Amino acid sequence: MKSLADSASLGERVAAGDTRAVARAISKVEDGSKDAAQLIKDLFPLTGRGLVIGITGAPGAGKSTLVDKLALHYRGREERVGIVAVDPSSPFSGGAILGDRIRMQALGLDRGVFIRSMATRGNMGGLARATVDAVSILDAAGYAKLIVETVGVGQDEVEIVKAADVCVVVLVPGMGDDIQAIKAGIMEIGDIFVINKADREGVYATEKELEALLSLSSRENGWEPPIIKTIATESKGIVEFAAAVQAYRDFHFQTDLGSQRRRAIARWRILELLREKLVSQTLASDSASERLDRLAGEVATRQRDPYSAVEELISQKSVVSGQ
């Protein structure tokens, strides 16, 4: 009962915008702690008010600086900004926490900005689920703009950005061969494209190439993704960038695109959580985790194949649980 009461009061403090409570609540969903479920249940009715802006792109594109400058722009308009940075670095390297501190300094310890990095969580999964839960917490706490930034081009990272109301893809001029592959992968998700470091050589070529790629992809909803050029380090193009975000938001809410998208996001979110929950249920008992260890040993030495191992884990579970 204690943990339930704790969680309720934590929820109330989050709803009141208490930043320490927000930080603690995010830690709970990140750790997959038991009261995280109750917390999100309590807070969920308060969500859906903030605008979720997802920003992704290749490494080295200057996404963090762009995000910081966009946040400063919103702060200039007295809007509170929550930033969730998905960081592929290991929890052991301490990169995420260090990164937060450096960025907090850049934003001048502004109490209207909340920055949190989410590190990958090892092979039990749950990064995407933890990230969207963190956004829900910030949303419930009354942050008006919720920026989710993902480094990299991985599958999970793309999914996380797709769960935003507006998806922004950041490119830089002339980044080599693989950029073509990245573009192909994230072309469909971009509502807005930003070419950052637009003072670099090759910006015209990148823009033309991008226009050509965009003209090939058909958008059933009628939105034509704009291409915004920025030099984030010099705060250039940020006003235009923010205007494009607003334009998309207005478009999004005028059409029924908004509700379709929210439905697709909800579906994805349920599936992510379902996956995590089913696995943790199956492996909850001591005997199940011993069985997993034994099966891993057998698969490693080729005495058994992974498919049979999974069948054994699942069949044993239904015998044991019976609830």
Rule CB under 8 A: which of 191-250 touch its own copies? Answer: none
Amino acid at residue number 239 = V
Least distance from its own copies to the Cβ atom of residue 243, Å: 26
* Residue with token string 């995420």: 96
Site membership for its own copies, residue 323 (CB under 8 A): yes
Least distance from its own copies to the Cβ atom of residue 111, Å: 26
Q: Which of 23, 37, 214, 247 binds its own copies (CB under 8 A)?
A: 37
Site membership for its own copies, residue 176 (CB under 8 A): yes
Q: How far apart are CA 149 and CA 83, in angstroms?
A: 7
How would you classify the pairing of strands 192-195 and 145-150?
Answer: unpaired
Helix/strand/coil percent split, the chain, to 5:
60, 15, 30
Cβ(69)–Cβ(232) below 8 Å: yes
Q: Which of 58, 141, 194, 238 binds its own copies (CB under 8 A)?
A: 58
Structure-block tokens of residue 110: 């502004």
Cβ(56)–Cβ(186) below 8 Å: yes
Cβ(77)–Cβ(145) below 8 Å: no
Q: Which of 8, 15, 187, 320 binds its own copies (CB under 8 A)?
A: 187
Cα Rg, the chain, nearest whole Å: 21
Q: Considering beta carbons, is residue 64 or 242 the nearer one to its own copies?
A: 64
Binding mask of the shown chain, residues 257 to 296, with x at each position contacting its own copies by CB under 8 A: --x--xxxxxxxxxxxxxx-xxx-xx---------xx-xx
Q: Which of 4, 5, 16, 184 binds its own copies (CB under 8 A)?
A: 184
Least distance from its own copies to the Cβ atom of residue 295, Å: 6
Binding mask of the shown chain, residues 107 to 146, with x at each position contacting its own copies by CB under 8 A: -------------x--xxx-x-------------------
Cα–chain center distance at 96:
14
Interface region with its own copies, contact rule CB under 8 A, candidates 19-27, 69-77, 83-91, 245-253 = 83-91
